[in-house]
Amino acid sequence: MHLHILGICGTFMGGVALLARALGHQVTGSDANVYPPMSTQLEAAGIGLMQGYEARHLQPAPDVVVVGNAMTRGVSAVEYMLDAGLPYVSGPQWLAEHLLPGRHVLAVSGTHGKTTTSSMLAWVLEEAGLAPGFLIGGVPQDFGVSARLGGGQHFVVEADEYDTAFFDKRSKFVHYRPRTLVINNLEFDHADIFDDLAMIQRQFHHLVRTVPGSGLIVHPFGEPAVDAVLDMGAWTPTASTGDGGDWTAEWLVEDGSEFRVVSPEGIQAEVRWQQTGAHNVQNALSTMAAAAHVGVGPTTAAAALGRFGGVKRRMELRGEVGGVRVYDDFAHHPTAIASTLQGLRRRVGDARIIAVLEPRSNTMRLGVHASALADALASADQVQVYAPADLGWDAATALAPLGGRLRVATAVEEIVTSVGAEASAGDHVLVMSNGGFGGIHQLLLDALAFREPR
């Protein structure tokens, strides 16, 4: 079968392409931005790529067009597809119909931590010998790819609440029919498609309705927004995590790099790993609870987490020059920003942290979370915020509580020049964005390398 994928270079759609190719299908695709690393990953798998969304990309006609959720009416390829009556389907629906049937699906959902927890869970199952398949919205360091078929019964999927396609406004995750469901947390996000938290909760309850009675729902203990979803109706056993829950953690060191886990059966296991921060300890508890549902015990899971290498763009050290460390992190919501900074602070103590933020997500650009950002960035010693002319709110005013720690820049080059001139040995530069940020990570490292010795 020949599949042509519109929006193929997005992380999710690129993963669908790799899985379809592994199943033996002919796969081609179009995207407005065809560039590494996704383009090279796809080309290495024998997938033909085309720049833009032209009608001619669908000639001769493929057997089916897989439509990414970035596509809208008015796009040339979309209009041609509809006028020509070509068969089309969304990425999540294709996955549900062609790859997930017959497999034990473990879905990881929530506002924060989906990619990291999905990666942890896939790694734990791999280390336990279950050879899982997976589709993750990032690249786990231990696997080097965002998707694979796997050789076993289990399939781990990052379950996103964003809408499916221009013709299917349900959340992507309603297609996956998980048997094991993790709900990490729940906050208001995606203000471009959801009016309020209640709309998001309704979508999560649609997901809860799909989990069978023999399945398991893993959730944080005592989180009101998640509890409200389950109170709408739940027909599946649950396992809670965190203080007061079924799965708990006792920190052994201050930064969370060592902790003891106690399971509902009272089994204790110690995790000693590379990760830090309360958010990652919570992610680990969710992982261990979900893994236990498929027969992987706490001791095995803890040992696997000790060998977990992390995820690209999640506190990823991009380089160190002259004693200055530059990190890349995907944090783009105030809660994630605060958690990431607090985790780094616990790790580095009194060392100076320079936070560099790009408010890039649709929700951020709309200014929905602007009032919460100053508190979220409070752990940083200096904050540099990229505020282009088309940002929908006044960054200097919203972040004024940061006082002299704040610098607002209208160009990436301003930030690079400022940090390059001022950073000193022992500093930690944390770059936070859910996009490429103009390649600022390498630009910073280059600036640090070429400046005069201090």
- DSSP-derived secondary structure for 279-341: HHHHHHHHHHHHHHHTT--HHHHHHHHTT---BTTSSEEEEEETTEEEEEE---SHHHHHHHH
Residue 140 confidence (pLDDT): 86
Of 84-88, 264-268, 441-445, the poorest mean pLDDT is in 441-445
Residue 6 confidence (pLDDT): 97
Q: Give the mean pLDDT of 383-408.
A: 88
With a cut of 80, say whether residue 239 has pLDDT above it: yes
Residue 360 — very low, low, confident or very high, per pLDDT cuts 50/70/90?
confident
Of 68-72, 199-203, 253-257, the poorest mean pLDDT is in 253-257
Residue 398 confidence (pLDDT): 86
Residue 92 confidence (pLDDT): 97
Q: Give the mean pLDDT of 431-449.
A: 86
Residue 279 confidence (pLDDT): 87
Amino acid symbol at 57:
H
Better-predicted residue by pLDDT, 192 or 228:
228
Residue 454 confidence (pLDDT): 47
Q: Are strands 147-148 and 133-135 parallel, antiparallel or unpaired?
A: antiparallel
Q: Are strands 248-251 and 258-262 parallel, antiparallel or unpaired?
A: antiparallel
- Per-residue pLDDT reduced to its tens digit, 318-333: 888 889 999 998 877 7
Residue 259 confidence (pLDDT): 96
Residue 334 confidence (pLDDT): 84
CATH number corresponding to 2-92: 3.40.50.720
Residue 121 — very low, low, confident or very high, per pLDDT cuts 50/70/90?
very high
- Per-residue pLDDT reduced to its tens digit, 89-108: 999 999 999 999 999 999 99
* Residue among 235, 237, 216, 219 at smallest CA distance from 227: 219
Yes or no: say if 15 and 38 are a contact pair by the CB < 8 Å rule.
Answer: no
Superfamily of domain 100-305: Mur-like, catalytic domain (3.40.1190.10)
Residue 63, phi then psi, degrees to nearest 5:
-70, -35
| Percent of the chain surpassing pLDDT 70 | 98
Angstrom distance (rounded) from CA 287 to CA 306: 13
With a cut of 50, say whether residue 419 has pLDDT above it: yes
* Residue among 373, 382, 366, 376 at smallest CA distance from 430: 382
- Dihedral angle sign, alpha carbons of residues 128, 186, 282, 13: positive
CATH number corresponding to 316-450: 3.90.190.20
Residue 234 confidence (pLDDT): 95
- Per-residue pLDDT reduced to its tens digit, 129-174: 999 999 998 888 889 888 999 999 999 999 999 999 999 999 999 9
Better-predicted residue by pLDDT, 398 or 127:
127
Indicate the average pLDDT of the chain. 91
**Domain boundaries of the chain, sorted by first residue:** 2-92, 100-305, 316-450
Residue 451 confidence (pLDDT): 60
- Per-residue pLDDT reduced to its tens digit, 60-87: 999 999 999 999 999 999 999 999 999 9
Enter the tokens of residue 408: 């607002």
Where do the H-state alpha helices sit in 380-429?
395-398, 412-422
Residue 210 confidence (pLDDT): 97
- Per-residue pLDDT reduced to its tens digit, 370-381: 888 888 898 899
